[in-house]
Amino acid sequence: MNKSAKILIALLAISVTGLFAQAQSPRILFVDMVKVMNEHYKTEEQKTKLQVDAEKASAEAEKILKERNVMVEEYKELVEQDKNPMTTDAVKQQNRAAAEKKIQAIQKTNNDLQSFNTNTQNLLRQRFQNFKEIMLEEISKIAREVAQRRGVDILMDKSGPSLLGIPAVIYADASMDITAEVQAEINKSRPASSGSPQITVPMGN
């Protein structure tokens, strides 16, 4: 075999090797973003804060409700006085005027209470939503760093359902799941005092 033929074969071998390398499947890892988010120590802290604020709002709503109930009892008393045959016409007229004002005050308090509860729920939900957006960015950054250290090409979130409503990842070997690694990386920055148990606060998706 002459020298030119050997060179040609060598180049062909290199070319074929390169094609096989390019044809190799991409290296893929998975992470459960929902699990990381829900079990993040900052999520636990945020839920605790929201729970405290929700309890404060509930106490304020209870105060408004008690004030309304007092007005309801006062209205009932005015109605009973109006039914009493011993009540003079002049007093009845005054009571009816007072009862009308009392009804208006009760209706206003009912509306205020409903608005207060709605606004409180919306505010707490929005606060948690804003928190989630910030946290997902932070978690994604750490997950990318862990994946890059593992030398992979693609990192996928396995927590969300597909368009068919089934898990996006039906099967993956446990070695391809870096959720625990991401959590370990996050917990490196966990303050020593951050050890409160997780509190469930329904804030929506």
* pLDDT values of the chain reduced to their tens digit, one per residue, 205 residues: 555 554 544 445 555 445 444 556 789 999 999 999 999 999 999 999 999 999 999 999 999 999 999 999 999 998 998 888 888 888 889 989 999 999 999 999 999 999 999 999 999 999 999 999 999 999 999 999 999 999 999 999 998 887 788 887 888 889 999 999 999 999 998 888 765 444 344 444 4
Q: What is the pLDDT, as a whole number, of residue 202? A: 43
Residue 172 has a pLDDT of: 83
Q: Parallel, antiparallel, or unpaired: how do β-strands 154-157 and 28-31 relate?
A: parallel
Shortest CA distance to 186 belongs to which of 33, 28, 30? 33
Residue environment code for 4-15, b if the CB has 16+ CB neighbours within 10 A, otherwise e: eeeeeeeeeeee
| Confidence at residue 16, expressed as pLDDT on a 0 to 100 scale | 43
Residue 14: predicted pLDDT = 52
CA distance 190 to 5: 64
Residue 110 is predicted with a pLDDT of 95
Compute the distance between CA of residue 76 and CA of residue 68 in angstroms, rounded to an integer.
12
Distance CA 41, CA 183 (A): 10
pLDDT at 138: 96
Rounded CA gap, 32 and 179, in Å?
6
Return the pLDDT at 19: 45
Task: Answer whether 110's CB lies under 8 Å from 67's CB.
Answer: no
Question: If you count them, how many residues does the chain have?
Answer: 205
Which residue is listed with tokens 């994604």?
Answer: 140
Among the listed residues 138, 175, 173, 178, the one whose alpha carbon sits nearest the alpha carbon of residue 155:
178
